[in-house]
Structure 1
Amino acid sequence: MGISVSDGVRVAMLGGTFDPVHLGHLRSAVELVDALGLERVHMIPAHQPPLREAPGVPSHERLTLLQHGIGDTPRLVADDREIRRDGPSYSADTLASLRAEYGESARLVMALGHDAFLKLAGWHQPQRLFELAHLVVIERPDHHQPLPDTLGELIAGREVDDPAALFATPAGGLLRLSLPTRMAISATEVRQRLCYGGSVRYLLPEAVERRIMALGLYRHER
């Protein structure tokens, strides 16, 4: 894998449907590397997302688009482990797989957006997420909604103020992180533009756009 498993290695999981992967996804991954001093970000397309409808584009093709989008970007990896696994793509199971791979002393992070964070208490085995990893919430600067009570109880006593405090232990903490570049790109909007033939230039990596156009992906959603 190119990275030796040793005490304190810092690795993140950034999951999602990536339907399709866009520049906002990729820029966030790069900025996570810089902000947290990560050795690697595993970008993991969901095979069977448990909390939403199955994407219209098959998981293997979404993985290929992700591989095209990442290209040779250092420290970003398109990871197919959820595609290879049967059943719903539960994040707890994915983190368990990463924890087994990197060892008990690794500093493992699950990064997620603010909207997903607000629903965290309703996820499959949410307490187990903290047993396996730290959570890093990518903040939305325009969001000031109070947390649901169930979420407040789940994260009570876990929040820290900076990466150094987070990585003092292998797992169990919560850090809210504002990234420098906040690219307001929506995969839903990208799909809609592709559906009616609108321009997606500068919303997607060029290699991703070329493959989508060559295969006619997302045009069937008319």
Structure 2
Amino acid sequence: MHIGILGGTFDPIHFGHIKPALEIKQKLLLDEVWLMPNHIPPHKQSTNITTQHRLKMVQDVCLQYPQLQLCDIEINRDTPSYTVVTLQQLKQAYPQASFYFIMGMDSFINLPSWHLWQQLFELCHIVLCQRPGWTLPPDSPMQQVLNQRATTIAQLIDNKNNTSQNTHGDIIPVDICLQNISSTEIRQKVQSNQDISKLLAPCTINYIQQHHLYRR
């Protein structure tokens, strides 16, 4: 099984999450893409809706888009979650799976600040998406990491039937139609009664309206 993982606070989940996930699944010929809502540390909860609301909105999106699956391993924890710990647990639970952790260039640039970040390459491939306004400076330490580990989508697909294929450690840059949408923008639009119909799935809009979320 080849499984993509897209983490986020999903506050709320929007087309900036959904469309890239679907496109990556198609381009990399992944079997599934898992949406993994993050656990929020207590000191940040004052700016977010409840965990239950965030989880339910992701569940609804997965029902609307069968290509996507919910992964609730982090959101149900009572302690802060580290990606490397999550992937260690997923590898134990699914030893035959190859995981593809999806991240934007902004996260990749800051990867050295992540807990035990170098161990990620022992657990998964990284799918690297360009984000509007973010580029990797030529002198960045992460440029060297990218040069050492980069592989193309074509190489990845050619090797899929090879039993000796690496199940982790590659960085796969992808050129996709990224949506310049932010959850902050959406929350502001909801507060000011602006149109959000092009930013969110219908099920998410209905849920926000039904539960009066993101109102002052």
TM-score range (shorter-chain normalised) is 0.7 to 0.9
* DSSP-derived class of the 1:71 partner: helix
**Contact in 2 for aligned 1:60/1:83 (Cα 8 Å):** no
Gaps of 5+ in 2: none
CA distance in 1 between counterparts of 2:196 and 2:132 reads: 25
CA distance in 1 between counterparts of 2:138 and 2:103 reads: 15
* DSSP-derived class of the 1:14 partner: strand
- 1:45-101 CA-to-partner distances (Å, cap 9, x unmatched) read 001269x93451112210101111222422311221112223112111121122112
Is 1:185 matched with 2:181? Answer: yes
**Contact in 1 for aligned 2:105/2:135 (Cα 8 Å):** no
Aligned to 1:60: 52
CA distance in 2 between counterparts of 1:18 and 1:44 reads: 9
* DSSP-derived class of the 2:79 partner: coil
One-letter amino acid matched to 2:152: D
How far apart are 1:184 and its partner, in Å?
1.7
Is 1:43 matched with 2:23? Answer: no
- 1:88-145 CA-to-partner distances (Å, cap 9, x unmatched) read 1211112112211221x42211001111111111111101111110101112366444
RMSD: 2.2
Aligned to 1:71: 63
CA distance in 1 between counterparts of 2:190 and 2:79 reads: 30
Is 1:99 matched with 2:91? Answer: yes
Aligned to 2:130: 139
CA distance in 1 between counterparts of 2:141 and 2:204 reads: 39
Change (3 A) 1:110 1:217: same
**Contact in 2 for aligned 1:137/1:175 (Cα 8 Å):** yes
Aligned to 2:205: 209
Is 1:173 matched with 2:170? Answer: yes
CA distance in 2 between counterparts of 1:49 and 1:14 reads: 19
Percent of residue pairs bearing the same amino acid type: 32
Aligned residues: 209
- 1:3-41 CA-to-partner distances (Å, cap 9, x unmatched) read xxxxxx201110000110001211111111101111111
Gaps of 5+ in 1: 1-8
Aligned to 2:196: 200
